[in-house]
């Protein structure tokens, strides 16, 4: 499939669903009109037949039944309409995303963490971030799982391959991807963590262990006997009123505890239905990749997760009904409805408490996989890299996924031994920093089991560490230079502990003078090589290029050149072997009138 075909598929989806939407809007209008006509017709017939009590009551009852049926059908049409609207909205968002407008998606700026090994340097989170470009999750825990997949990628080859196979299979099924996303967006309420909710619910007073559980049987029996005895004239009918008064007051007594239980469900009942629907989609789909089958089995073993969650939704809905007028005046006094469904939820939690966490992990994993699959579908020219068990990073035509494909310049990377470093020199704006981020983000994606922007990539699942934009901290009274030293100390400590790091550094020791910087940079490079590290270091200090002579098997020089010809500055943004020959700072300062050099 080509990119043009991907775009066309979204346009076809929009056209198809737009036609359905037009028909649904027409049907909704017709059903609404029919409901109005039904009510007006009922009023007219009752007015004509007023005085014939049986006929009037019958007409009213028939009208109520018809009206409720039409209302139910009307609500179903509204759900279908919303589903169509979501499919259209998502497809429009994908078309914009393909053109690098990711404003429709959540960039999770709250996930940005300067102490993480690479997330800030690679612009993973926030507006215009990579996470915003890939995030299609519909649950809060799916979003967290997706973030964790990028922040803590796989370290084993088998895990990477299993994830790649799952992403490949899902990306070939756009119908399923669209269905899962739209279904997950049907509920506009906040995400509900059922595991956390269950623990909170069980920390309240347990009515299943209190004397209130007996009222569930006492009240209906008393009312039943009272009705029978009253109908045979063996007991005054006023006793029924006394029974109602007593049980009404009794049913109000535990309301404080029950309202606390109900507060956990507040405005989230529809979310349970959404979760149930998502589980049902996963349960009924046929999968081939081992990871997807394994996840599916976790929610199908024993009782289906979709049915169990739907049952919880039903119980919570009935508990919610106990607080309306019908519940307060009839259901609670006669049946102790509020007690019944509080106990049912308690028993549901007791029965499923060992499964809840596992079910939600499966849903989070699927939600995350959908994001990776949509990303793969939207980038048909990207490839799935080959994981290796030996230290290597060899890629052809690597590009940065956030750079517009029309202007993105791709480059190669070759690290075939261990330890080994590329020392990249070059002028300002020549492409060094972009190259570092390109290698970093593609290595991260490769380790996460995702497709990468390259024509080929073979890699070892290193632990990536970067130092590209260290900043000072006024609140911590920490200078820029000290912050960089702390970062470098962290790298050395992790290498000494035996971690297989891939290190990407940009302009080491920027916060000190030239002589100190040069000595420190050379000493650090020697230390990194002696500790068996791999990585890339970009620098303006051309003397670091001499290290290749001292460590010919562990260091190789590369450069990005600025070409100055006829008083004109140009860049190729292509990496070349060797040490940079041209620098452009003085040229640019003169060109801009800053100096007279």
pLDDT tens-digit map of 32-85: 999 999 999 998 888 888 878 788 888 888 998 998 899 899 999 999 999 999
- Is residue 231 over pLDDT 60? yes
Q: Is the pLDDT of residue 510 over 80?
A: no
Q: Identify the domain containing residue 355 by its residue range.
A: 194-209+255-321+337-378
Could you give the CA distance from residue 340 to residue 332 in angstroms, rounded to a whole number? Answer: 9
User: Which residues 6+ apart lie within 8 Å of 184 measured at CB?
Assistant: 138, 139, 274, 278, 367
Contacts of residue 26, defined as CB under 8 A and 6 or more positions apart, other chains included, come to: none
Q: What is the reported pLDDT for 255? A: 84
Percentage, residues of the chain above pLDDT 70: 91
Q: Based on the fold, state whether residues 408 and 316 are members of the same structural domain.
A: no
Q: What token pair was written down for 168?
A: 């490949």
Start-to-end CA span in the chain (Å): 54
| In contact, 562 and 462? CB cutoff 8 Å | no
Is residue 130 included in any domain, yes or no?
no
Whether residues 363 and 410 share a domain: the answer is no
Which pLDDT value is given to residue 229? 83
Q: Do 489 and 582 sit in the same domain of this protein?
A: yes
Residues 286 and 419 in one domain: no
83 & 53 share domain = yes
Which one is predicted more confidently, 198 or 299? 299
Of 121-130, 228-237, 410-419, the range with the lowest mean pLDDT is 228-237
Separation of alpha carbons 332 and 342, rounded Å: 12
Q: In three state form, how does the secondary structure of 176-237 look?
A: HHHHHHHHHCCCCCCCCCHHHHHHHHHCCCCHHHCHHHHHHHHHHHHHHHHHHHHHCCCCCC
Q: Give the DSSP letter string of 55-86.
A: HHHHHHHHHHHHHHHHHHHHHHHHHHHHHHHH
Q: Which of 58, 77, 99 is the last residue of a domain?
A: 99
2-6, 265-269, 390-394: least confidently modelled range? 265-269
Query: Same structural domain for residues 43 and 27?
Result: yes
| All residues at 6 or more sequence positions from 478 whose CB lies less than 8 Å from its CB, including other chains | 472, 486
Task: Give the pLDDT confidence score for residue 472 in this predicted structure.
Answer: 46
Q: Does 402 map to a domain?
A: yes
Look at residue 507 and tell me if it is in a domain: yes
Locus of tokens 């956990």: 264
**pLDDT of 593 higher than 60:** no
Split into its structural domains, the chain has a count of 3
Residue 396: strand, helix, or coil: strand
Identify whether residues 392 and 368 lie together within a single domain: no
Please indicate, yes or no, if residue 151 is contained in any of the structural domains: no
- The whole-angstrom separation of Cα 310 and Cα 394 is 50
* Residues 451, 455, 460, 462, CA torsion sign: negative
How are strands ordered across the β-sheet holding 386-387? 386-387, 456-459, 393-398, 411-415
* Residue 152 belongs to a domain: no
Is the same domain home to 535 and 438? yes
Q: Which residues contact 439 (CB under 8 A, 6 or more apart)?
A: 393, 395, 398, 413, 504, 536
For 298-329, what is each residue's pLDDT tens digit?
A: 998 888 999 999 998 898 888 888 888 888 88
Q: Are residues 391 and 516 in the same domain?
A: yes
Judge if 414 and 364 occupy the same domain.
Answer: no
Interval 94-113: pLDDT, tens: 999 999 999 999 999 999 98
Residue-averaged pLDDT of the chain:
88
Determine the Cα–Cα distance for residues 595 and 597; give it in Å rounded to an integer: 6
Q: Is residue 5 in a domain?
A: yes
Angle between helices 140-151 and 337-378 (to 10 degrees): 40
Q: How far apart are CA 425 and CA 558, in angstroms?
A: 6
> What average pLDDT does this structure show over 521-527?
90
Residue 179 belongs to some domain of the structure: no
Distances (CA, A) of 286 to 72, 165, 293, 472: 32, 15, 8, 53
Q: Identify whether the C-beta of residue 362 lies closer than 8 Å to the C-beta of residue 162.
A: no
Distances (CA, A) of 539 to 345, 426, 436, 559: 63, 7, 11, 10
Identify whether residues 266 and 287 lie together within a single domain.
Answer: yes
- Going from the C-alpha of 395 to that of each of 101, 107, 258, 444, 565, the distances in angstroms are 28, 28, 61, 13, 32
pTM higher than 0.85 for the full model? yes
- Domain assignment present for residue 330? The answer is no
Q: Match 């075939």 to its residue by tokens.
A: 416
pLDDT score, position 226? 85
Distance, CA of 466 to CA of 95 (rounded, Å): 33
Residues 363 and 504 in one domain: no
- With beta carbons less than 8 A apart as the criterion, state whether 82 and 113 touch: no
Sign of the torsion formed by the C-alpha atoms of 247, 253, 257 and 259: positive
């Amino acid at each position: 499939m080509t990119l043009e075909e991907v775009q066309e598929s979204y346009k076809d989806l929009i056209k198809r669903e737009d036609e359905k939407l037009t028909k649904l809007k027409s049907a909704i209008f017709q059903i609404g009109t029919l409901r109005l006509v039904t009510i007006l017709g009922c009023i007219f017939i009752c007015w004509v037949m007023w005085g014939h009590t049986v006929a009037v009551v019958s007409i009213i009852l028939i009208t109520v039944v018809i009206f409720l049926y039409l209302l139910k059908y009307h609500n179903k049409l509204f759900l279908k309409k919303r589903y169509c609207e979501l499919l259209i909205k998502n497809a429009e968002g994908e078309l914009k995303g393909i053109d690098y407008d990711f404003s429709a998606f959540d960039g999770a700026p709250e996930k940005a963490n300067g102490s993480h090994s690479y997330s800030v340097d690679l612009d993973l989170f926030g507006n215009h971030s990579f996470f915003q470009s890939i995030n299609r999750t519909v649950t809060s825990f799916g979003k967290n799982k997706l973030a964790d997949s990028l922040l803590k990628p796989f370290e084993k080859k088998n895990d990477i391959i299993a994830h790649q196979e799952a992403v490949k299979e899902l990306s070939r099924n756009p119908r399923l991807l669209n269905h899962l996303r739209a279904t997950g967006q049907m509920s506009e309420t906040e995400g509900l963590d059922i595991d956390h909710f269950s623990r909170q619910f069980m920390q309240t007073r347990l009515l299943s262990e209190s004397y209130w559980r007996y009222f569930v049987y006492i009240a209906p029996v008393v009312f039943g006997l009272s009705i029978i005895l009253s109908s045979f004239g063996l007991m005054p009918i006023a006793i029924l009123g006394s029974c109602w008064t007593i049980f009404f007051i009794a049913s109000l007594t535990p309301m404080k505890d029950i309202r606390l239980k109900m507060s956990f469900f507040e405005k989230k009942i529809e979310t349970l239905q959404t979760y149930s629907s998502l589980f049902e989609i996963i349960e009924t789909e046929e999968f081939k990749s081992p990871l997807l089958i394994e996840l599916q089995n976790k929610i199908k073993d024993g009782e289906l997760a979709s049915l169990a969650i739907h049952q919880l939704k039903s119980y919570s809905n009935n508990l919610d009904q106990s607080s309306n007028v019908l519940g307060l005046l009839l259901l609670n006094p006669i049946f102790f409805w509020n007690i019944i469904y509080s106990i049912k939820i308690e028993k549901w939690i007791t029965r499923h408490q060992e499964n809840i966490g596992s079910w939600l992990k499966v849903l989070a994993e699927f939600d995350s996989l959908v994001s990776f699959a949509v990303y793969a579908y939207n980038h048909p020219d990207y490839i799935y890299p080959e994981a290796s068990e030996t230290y290597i990073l060899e890629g052809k035509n690597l590009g940065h996924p956030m750079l517009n494909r029309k202007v993105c310049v791709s480059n190669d990377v070759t690290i075939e031994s261990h330890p080994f470093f590329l020392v990249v020199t070059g002028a300002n704006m020549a492409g060094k920093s972009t190259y570092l981020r390109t290698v970093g983000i593609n290595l991260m994606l490769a380790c996460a089991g995702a497709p990468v922007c390259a024509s080929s990539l073979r890699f070892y699942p290193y632990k990536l560490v970067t130092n590209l934009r260290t900043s000072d901290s006024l609140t911590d009274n920490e200078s820029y230079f000290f912050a960089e030293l702390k970062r470098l100390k962290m790298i050395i400590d992790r290498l000494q502990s035996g971690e297989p790091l891939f290190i990407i550094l940009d302009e080491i020791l920027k916060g000190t003078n030239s002589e100190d910087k040069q000595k420190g940079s050379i000493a650090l490079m020697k230390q990194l090589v002696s500790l068996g590290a791999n990585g890339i270091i970009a620098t303006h200090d051309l003397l670091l290029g001499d290290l290749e002579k001292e460590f010919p098997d562990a260091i190789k020089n590369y450069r990005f050149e600025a070409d100055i010809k006829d008083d004109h500055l140009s860049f190729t943004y292509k990496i070349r072997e060797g040490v940079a020959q041209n620098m452009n700072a003085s040229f640019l300062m003169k060109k801009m009138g800053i100096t007279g050099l």
